[in-house]
Amino acid sequence: MSTIGLIGSGLIGSTVARLAVAAGHEVVLSNRRGPETLSDLVAELGPQARAATPAEAAQAGDITVVTIPLHAYRTVPVAALYGKVVIDTNNYYPERDGHIAELDTETTTTSELLQAHLPASRIVKTMNNIFYAHLGNLARPSGDPARSVLALAGDDAAAKQTVTVFLDSIGYDALDAGPLAEGWRFQRDTAAYSDPYFSEGHSLATTVRGADPGPGRPATANTMRAALAAAKRYRDM
């Protein structure tokens, strides 16, 4: 079992923490406002969970999950993550994050920005393209016919293998989408973004307007592979 550091403990961070604890891992949660604001979540998660500062969570994590609004990525502790495997769930929403020129011009991708901020860490992009409630609902044991796949991208094969083993432990198969530079294939507004996990009659667009997201539906490797292959750059849309 591993220790999972969480930098960000909101909708996605808390969902990953719940799945990790259920799988037997320890979690160290952190957020912007301070560990004392995470006492309810720690109490819910029980003795495998504690709250700390982002630097402490990063230090403690065998794997650390960065799951914060993208605009805050430069605050992620660098030294504490030296050499470590870092999962990046972040997405770019200019209306929330402000405009980031390199992303607007598509000269880089969100996870490559985080990699540039953490040059000695090994970033793996995953879990960014699934609605948090579906991430919680769709986890299934290995071999279950209703098990879903999660795409991942990264430049370090060993880090991708580490994350594949972690995803397996929390209830998901992994599908390698290539290096970090290919991460745009499952960024927002692509066919691979959220839709593969929404069941008939539900969508991210209606969910953000307040509709029920539904229970989600399993996404197979073939579904995700086809969605990744169909991805278009913004400039080609």
Ligand X SMILES: NC(=O)c1ccc[n+]([C@@H]2O[C@H](COP(=O)([O-])OP(=O)(O)OC[C@H]3O[C@@H](n4cnc5c(N)ncnc54)[C@H](OP(=O)(O)O)[C@@H]3O)[C@@H](O)[C@H]2O)c1
Residue 59 binding ligand X, by CB under 6 A: no
Is 213 one of the binding residues for ligand X (CB under 6 A)?
no
Q: Candidates 30-38, 115-123, 169-177, 217-225 — which segment interacts with ligand X by CB under 6 A?
A: 30-38
Residue 31 interacting with ligand X (CB under 6 A):
yes
Candidates 10-18, 40-48, 163-171, 219-227; binding stretch for ligand X (CB under 6 A): 10-18
Between 11 and 100, CB nearer to ligand X: 11
Q: Please state the closest distance from residue 72 (CB atom) to ligand X, in A.
A: 4
Helix (H), strand (E), coil (C) string for the chain = CCEEEEECCCHHHHHHHHHHHHCCCEEEECCCCCHHHHHHHHHHHCCCEEECCHHHHHHHCCEEEECCCHHHHHHCCCHHHCCCEEEECCCCCHHHHCCCHHHHCCCCCHHHHHHHHCCCCEEEEECCCCCHHHHHHCCCCCCCCCCEEEEEEECCHHHHHHHHHHHHHHCEEEEECCCHHHHHHHCCCCCCCCHHHCCCCCCHHHHHCCCCCCCCCCCCHHHHHHHHHCCCCHHHC
Choosing from 54, 136, 154, 183, the residue that interacts with ligand X (CB under 6 A) is 54
* Min CB(44)–ligand X separation in Å: 15
The binder of ligand X chosen from 39, 75, 199, 222 (CB under 6 A): 75
> Total number of residues binding ligand X (CB under 6 A)?
24
Question: What residues line the site for ligand X (CB under 6 A)?
Answer: 7-13, 30-33, 54, 67-70, 72, 75, 89-91, 128, 131-132
